[in-house]
Amino acid sequence: MEAQTTVEKTLHRSSSRGGANFGWLQSRHTFSFGNYFNPERVHFGALRVLNDDQVAPGAGFPTHPHDNMEIVSIPLEGALEHKDTTGTDGVIRTGDVQIMSAGTGIAHSEYNHSDADPVKFLQIWVLPEKLDIEPRYDQKAFRSENRKNRFQLMVSPQQSAETLWINQNAYFSMAELDKGSTVVYEMHEKANGLYLFMISGAAIVEDESLGHRDGLGLVGKDRYNLQAESAATVLAMEVPYQGF
């Protein structure tokens, strides 16, 4: 009889997240960030920050610096203006994914592109594989039909026309599931861990029922089954796990 694989699970319920409310910005933090610090929730492997942000109309983050971090932004509702010291001046909208390698140092600003509606987006930081690389910026639009009841790869460590490149052995994918459907996530690297974030809806993964904005870290298996309990959207972040 084949031995059962032991899976290490790290469950973060939406209600247990830290947060901040500055009026113009409402943010929920899965991991320690800003004034929120929890020594048991500093990171999941190379995944360092997972912020669920809402910015008021016309408001935003003034120019500020970063270095040696891979920063991924995923708009969920609305559009976000971006300017940085690489010369980038543009807008990312729902359906787009943005990545920025801070490297030796970059400064940028982010503002709600609308004067009428809030913008909601995920701000995700991943610790880099190589330090002090040249700062860079990239963004790409991804068609939602290509993630219907399957995972659509959006970020990977391989240079590709289909995905955004990240300076880490990490992979970001998204799936939009119909109620009752099952999708399988196949790990790209055995040594990596998988962090699942339920953007909407509900699903069962490794006997855990995940709801809106719940997160689940998984280590130990080559593949994981997700069964949708309702229509659901899930973000899968596969990152190096050991040594962080």
* Sequence-distant (≥ 6) Cβ neighbours of residue 54 within 8 angstroms: 25, 26, 27, 118, 119, 120
* pTM score: 0.96
C-beta of residue 53 within 8 angstroms of C-beta of residue 123: yes
The whole-number pLDDT of residue 5 equals 79
| Torsion on CA atoms 150, 155, 159, 165, rounded to nearest 10 | 170
Q: What is the pLDDT along the chain (244 residues), one digit of tens a residue?
A: 445 678 999 999 999 999 999 999 999 999 999 999 999 999 999 999 999 999 999 999 999 999 999 999 999 999 999 999 999 898 999 999 999 999 999 999 999 999 999 999 999 999 999 999 999 999 999 999 999 999 999 999 998 999 999 999 999 999 999 999 999 999 999 999 999 999 999 999 999 999 999 999 999 999 999 999 999 999 999 999 998 8
CATH architecture entry for 8-240: Sandwich (2.60)
Q: What is the C-alpha separation between 59 and 4, in angstroms, rounded? A: 51
C-beta of residue 187 within 8 angstroms of C-beta of residue 199: no
The whole-number pLDDT of residue 185 equals 98
What would you report as the CA-atom Rg of the chain, rounded to the nearest whole angstrom? 17
Give the pair of three-digit tokens for residue 136.
Answer: 């860079």
Give the pair of three-digit tokens for residue 157.
Answer: 């460590």
Give the pair of three-digit tokens for residue 37.
Answer: 């610090």
The whole-number pLDDT of residue 1 equals 40
Q: Helices (H) and strands (E) in the chain — how many of each?
A: 0, 22
Half-sphere CA count of 21, side-chain side, radius 13 A:
1
Q: Which of 198, 193, 194, 191 is nearest to 227 (CA)?
A: 198
